Amino acid sequence: MDKKLLSTLVLLALGGCSTSDDAENTPATFSGVSSAVIDINVPNSNNALTVIDEDEGEANIVSQTNTKTTYGTFSITESGAWTYELDVTNSDVTSLTSDATLTDFITITSKDGTTSVIEVTINGIAAVNTAASIGGDMTASINSDNVDDVTGSLTITDPDTDEAQVEAQTDMETTYGTFSITTTGALDL
């Protein structure tokens, strides 16, 4: 066979081949649960997403394990099972009032690079009042010969912020005299 003819046939044959992938990437779509609502009393959420992708071998999610987020940690498997755990020690979370919310946004990616966002809403809860503990001089004895004031001191322990104090009272009438106490617990009978 003539070299020219052979070269022409090889070039024609190669011209019909493509070295690039002619197939266009079809973006993936996500379905399932892509949001959650939690609070400090229910700090975890377990859900699932599904990736749909027409492109062969691309219907998976890029997994994440214990990824730190703004208010917690997030994990997701290739098959789409995801968990979110609220950081109950985060100062923004612990100071959240009952009428306020925070939102954590987590970006996930399918195998073909398509992204989606999971939204976790964190609701504030009503503050729980924890009872104070009162100690110190809880009793006093006075005899009729004593005309001096009886003094003492109470101690207040309260885990609630800014509540470890007594409501001040001055010269309150009692059955047998008057009573005064300061916000720090100093007594005068």
Distance CA 108, CA 121 (A): 17
Quick check: helix, strand or coil at residue 3? helix
Residue 69 · residue 104 · CB < 8 Å: yes
How far is 109 from 101, CA to CA, in rounded Å? Answer: 26
Are 49 and 30 in contact by the 8 Å Cβ rule? The answer is yes
Residue ranges, comma separated, of all CATH 2.60.40 domains in the chain are 26-123
pLDDT tens digits in sequence order for the chain, 189 residues long: 555 544 544 444 444 444 445 568 899 999 999 999 999 889 999 999 999 999 999 999 999 999 999 999 999 999 999 999 999 999 999 989 888 999 999 999 999 999 999 999 999 987 677 788 888 877 777 776 766 677 778 888 887 777 778 888 888 888 877 878 888 878 776
CATH number of 26-123: 2.60.40
Angle at the Cα of 45 from the Cα atoms of 40 and 48, rounded to 5 degrees: 165
